[in-house]
Amino acid sequence: MDKLHEQITKLREDFTKGTLSEKDVKQNPFEQFENWLAQAVESQVPEVQAMTLATASKEGIPSSRIVYLREFDNNQFWFYGNYQSRKAKQLAENPNASLSFFWPALERQIRIQGTVTKCTDAYSDNYFNNRPYESKIGSWASAQSSEVSSREELMQKVEELKKHFSADTIKRPEFWGGWILKANYYEFWQGRKSRLHDRIVYELEEGSWKIKRLNP
């Protein structure tokens, strides 16, 4: 274990693949996000849609997990899950949340902060209806974040649900759906040599986006 600790302490990576300047970024942060996302997709970054969603309870106790970005438009970002999960309970208590994308292949990170609201039923239905059948069954089977006695119990429930729902009859459960984060803050991070990274932020002030550079 001491050797592992030593290895972690000595790990270093110099970032040399790009730069980021206030003169180069888009004036609208959502356009800058789309630009970087398109470049990540073109570069075939693995799991490019994966983002860390950070939430907090009303007492300020934080929690984070990886979820998938599923839709995005006009400073709004959609993700989906169980409305009885830990993230759902925390978002109900405290709608402030943040998203983080990390793309090591491009030495880039994007942080987005904002407030979260539930999707309309129509949005949730549309997304659910386009999911694979097995994923739909999984949504019904999992009481997300609650204790389950064994893997076998979960899989038994899956098999029972398959007998009850066919691919043509299965509908979205009321306890499952989507959320939308409405952004009020963005940070675009480009790794640079010697840890002197570029950090450009956009803050929403009185309806306008203000662009600033942060120290690394």
Residue 59 belongs to some domain of the structure: yes
Query: What pLDDT band is residue 115 in, cutting at 50, 70 and 90?
Result: very high
pLDDT band at 88 (very low <50, low <70, confident <90, very high): very high
Q: Output the six-digit token pair for 65.
A: 């997990």
CATH of the domain at 84: 2.30.110.10
Count how many Cα atoms sit within 13 Å of the Cα of residue 151 in the half-sphere of its side chain.
0
- How many structural domains are present in the chain? 1
Has residue 4 got a pLDDT over 80?
Answer: no
Set 70, 195, 199, 213: catalytic member: 195
Residue 198 · residue 189 · CB < 8 Å: yes
Q: Does 141 reside within a domain?
A: no
81 located within any domain: yes
Q: Is the pLDDT of residue 10 over 80?
A: no
In a domain? residue 6: no
pLDDT digits (tens, 9 = 90+) for 29-66: 999 999 999 999 999 999 999 999 999 999 999 999 99
Distance CA 111, CA 119 (A): 22
Residue 212 CB partners (closer than 8 Å, separation 6+): 200, 201, 202, 203
Residue 106 lies in a domain: yes
* Residue 165 pLDDT > 90: yes
The verdict on residue 196 lying in a domain is yes
Burial 52-66 (b: 16+ CB within 10 A, else e): ebbbbeeeeeeeeee
What confidence score (pLDDT) does residue 44 get? 97
Domain assignment of residue 85, yes or no: yes
Supply the mean pLDDT for the chain: 95
Domain of residue 77 covers 15-128+176-214
pLDDT band for position 17 (cuts 50, 70, 90): confident
- Tell me, yes or no, if 195 is annotated catalytic: yes
Q: Is residue 151 part of a domain?
A: no
